[in-house]
Amino acid sequence: MGKSRPMAVLRIFLVPAAVWAIYYLKGNICFRLYPVAVVAFAFSYFLVSLFRTPAVEVFARRMGETIDDRAKAYCRKVTLVWVAFLAAHFLTTLATVFASYEIWAVYNGFVAYVLMGALFVGELLVRRRIRRG
């Protein structure tokens, strides 16, 4: 399987789904689906990266980190955590599309960012602790 094949397959499904949503789901629903699409893209990126170089490892390398075998294993685990988080986040974001506008706005405009920030900061603290130990 080539490196670009998983993303190509993903695009085959995501692009028609987005076109269908825009054309058939008129009005406010398209606006509400935007966060769903963003989370689906992020989830897909992290998931597909597990079959290549894990996303967290890519980010670490771009920041100039030296990646040994232990760090590679850690990056893979953190990428798996993000995949799990983004899967749950995707389902929740999708559910809010069918909830009241207030619930949709609070979750997608506030709660989602707090949860992502908490995961990011939590991972940062764990990483610092591991480096010390």
Banded pLDDT at 39 (limits 50, 70, 90) = very high
Higher pLDDT: 45 or 22? It is 45
Residue 2 pLDDT greater than 70, yes or no: no
CB 104 within 8 A of CB 96: yes
The model's pLDDT over 91-133, given as tens digits with 9 standing for 90+, comes to 999 999 989 999 999 999 999 999 999 999 999 899 889 888 7
Per-residue pLDDT at 1: 45
Residue 15 pLDDT greater than 60, yes or no: yes
DSSP states of 34-59: HHHHHHHHHHHHHHHHTTSS-HHHHH
CA 133, CA 126: separation in Å to the nearest integer? 11
CA 112, CA 133: separation in Å to the nearest integer? 32
Alpha helices (H) in the chain, listed in sequence order? 5-24, 28-49, 55-62, 69-97, 101-106, 112-132
